[in-house]
Amino acid sequence: MVEIEILTLFPEMVDAPLRASVLGKALARGAIRIRAVDIRDFATGKHQVTDDVPFGGGAGMVMKVEPIVAAVEDCRARLPGINVMLTSPRGRRFDQEMARDFHSRGRLALVCGRYEGVDERATQFVDGEVSIGDFVMTGGEFAALCIADAVARLERGVLGNEDSCQAESFERGLLEYPQYTRPREFRGRGVPEILLTGNHDRVKRFRRREALVATRLRRPDLFAKLTLTEEDEALLSGEEP
Ligand SMILES: C[S@@+](CC[C@H](N)C(=O)[O-])C[C@H]1O[C@@H](n2cnc3c(N)ncnc32)[C@H](O)[C@@H]1O
């Protein structure tokens, strides 16, 4: 079972979203474990201070190294072998492959920075740094939630339908084919007839073609990495699915 810990100064920010919908149900069933750890609990002194002004001057505050390292060490002691990642815009860009890697390791801790970030020395006590994209947020909590969600849904029993993950975007180096549901017609817009034929083979080929076309159009970088089969080439050159 996958176990995820989110180390944060604002546990209430991560608790509420985890309780909703698919993850909330999976947590309630015990299919996954995700919990927030309050970094402030590891700060010492009367005021449990977790941030301070930067050496050398400059805007804003920096998260102190001691509470972060104490929280990380506590986590490592309770959950041996845990993979500890610091959320940071300077980290490696998160993607589906990383989600699978994190999931396969079983235990994951995500450390959330705040303010101007964390004292650089804290980076020496984690196993890596992870970014969710080239933009800057006020804190790591939303990044941690994105990552936790993507990792948790790979766990068996979290999604109702275990096939859900298989055809999804990025799972086979392709974006997903378009999906439709009722009504059959909406404001003059129908759904592709082939999806109504009940011919599973043709539907499968149609979806494969749509996934290939979407990937070629929207993500030429992914498309360039694909090894196309003869059938793929035929579908792309206009053969009927
Ligand atoms: C305001 S940011 C600090 C940005 C830092 N001063 C910089 O320029 O790289 C505060 C915290 O938000 C989190 N954060 C912000 N953007 C992020 C992103 N794109 N991916 C992951 N974490 C992010 C990190 O934990 C970071 O320590």
Q: How far apart are CA 12 and CA 30, in angstroms?
A: 21
Predicted structure pTM score = 0.94
pLDDT in tens, 149-207: 999 999 998 997 766 677 777 878 999 999 999 999 999 999 999 999 999 999 999 99
In this structure, what token pair is assigned to residue 227? 């090894």
Nearest CA to ligand 1 atom 19: 89
- Predicted local distance difference test score (pLDDT) of residue 232: 96
Ligand 1: distance of its center to the CA of 139 in Å? 6
The ligand 1 atom nearest the CA atom of 134: 19
Nearest CA to ligand 1 atom 1: 138
Ligand 1: distance of its center to the CA of 116 in Å? 8
pLDDT at 19 over 70: yes
Ligand 1: distance of its center to the CA of 98 in Å? 19
pLDDT in tens, 135-144: 999 999 999 9
The ligand 1 atom nearest the CA atom of 136: 16
Q: How far apart are CA 91 and CA 184, in angstroms?
A: 45
Cβ atoms of 144 and 23 within 8 Å: the answer is no
Strands (E), 25-164: 33-38, 51-52, 62-63, 83-93, 107-111, 128-131
Pocket of ligand 1 (CB under 6 A): 87-90, 112-114, 116-118, 131-133, 135-140, 143
Q: Which residues contact 130 (CB under 8 A, 6 or more apart)?
A: 85, 86, 87, 88, 91, 92, 94, 98, 110, 143, 147
Nearest to 122 by CA among 62, 58, 34: 62
Ligand 1: distance of its center to the CA of 130 in Å? 10
Ligand 1: distance of its center to the CA of 77 in Å? 27
- Predicted local distance difference test score (pLDDT) of residue 160: 76
Cβ atoms of 90 and 129 within 8 Å: the answer is yes
pLDDT in tens, 101-112: 999 999 999 999
pLDDT in tens, 207-230: 999 999 999 999 999 999 999 999
57, containing H or E segment: none
- Predicted local distance difference test score (pLDDT) of residue 168: 78
